[in-house]
């Protein structure tokens, strides 16, 4: 595939994944979803490469990916990641997508941290009780 075909492929995968997402849920997304940016480097990088060569790819996906902004060094590096997002979203229901899995994992880590804090320092209200006089 040439670069244009790779971009069209990434676009198609994102489009299908987002269409599936919006069929099952319409919460937790941002206005910049599925924004794709391509970086061709600066003057010196283009001079060194002998013309336009992709030096970076950015994909904004709060819903599908683990972060809001995902950066890649090339289209070839981005494709398998977007393919995985697509698989997770299309398999079954929205509950199978990465966003939900990561949200649950983050909540579980938070709860485990709170339990550890309670173990080490006691119940939170103990910190703030005023001395009875």
51-106 residue pLDDT tens: 888 999 999 988 888 788 899 999 999 999 999 889 888 885 445 455 566 667 77
How far is residue 45's CA from residue 52's CA, in Å, rounded to a whole number? Answer: 9
| Domain interval for residue 24 | 3-123
Give the containing element (helix H, strand E) for 112: helix 98-121
What is the pLDDT, as a whole number, of residue 16? 93
Q: Which of 39-43, 62-66, 82-86, 127-131 has the lowest mean pLDDT?
A: 127-131
In which band, very low, low, confident or very high, does the pLDDT at 35 lie, cut at 50, 70 and 90? very high
Decide which of 122 and 69 is more confident.
69
* Percentage with pLDDT > 90 across the chain: 35
What is the pLDDT, as a whole number, of residue 29? 72
Compute how many other C-beta atoms are within 10 angstroms of the C-beta atom of residue 91. Answer: 11
Of residues 96, 68, 93, the one with CA closest to residue 84: 96
Instruction: Kindly state whether residue 94 falls inside one of the protein's structural domains.
Output: yes
Instruction: Kindly state whether residue 95 falls inside one of the protein's structural domains.
Output: yes
Instruction: Kindly state whether residue 128 falls inside one of the protein's structural domains.
Output: no
Decide which of 110 and 77 is more confident.
77
Tokens of 61: 């996906």
Instruction: Kindly state whether residue 129 falls inside one of the protein's structural domains.
Output: no
Instruction: Kindly state whether residue 61 falls inside one of the protein's structural domains.
Output: yes
Does this model's pTM top 0.75? My answer is: no
Angle at which helix 3-24 crosses helix 75-90, to 10 degrees, equals 20
Instruction: Kindly state whether residue 115 falls inside one of the protein's structural domains.
Output: yes
Instruction: Kindly state whether residue 21 falls inside one of the protein's structural domains.
Output: yes
Q: How many domains does the chain have?
A: 1
Is residue 24 classed as helix, strand or coil in its secondary structure? helix
């Amino acid at each position: 595939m040439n670069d244009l075909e790779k971009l069209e492929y990434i676009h198609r995968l994102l489009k299908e994944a987002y269409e599936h997402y919006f069929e099952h849920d319409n919460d937790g997304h941002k206005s910049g979803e599925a924004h794709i940016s391509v970086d061709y480097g600066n003057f010196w990088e283009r001079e060194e490469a002998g013309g336009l060569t992709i030096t970076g790819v950015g994909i904004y996906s709060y819903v599908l990916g683990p972060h809001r902004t995902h950066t890649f060094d090339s289209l070839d590096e981005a494709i398998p990641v977007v393919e995985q997002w697509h698989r997770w979203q299309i398999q079954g229901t929205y509950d199978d997508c990465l966003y939900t899995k990561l949200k649950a994992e983050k909540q579980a880590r938070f709860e485990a941290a709170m339990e550890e804090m309670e173990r080490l320092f006691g119940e939170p209200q103990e910190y703030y009780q005023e001395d009875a006089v």
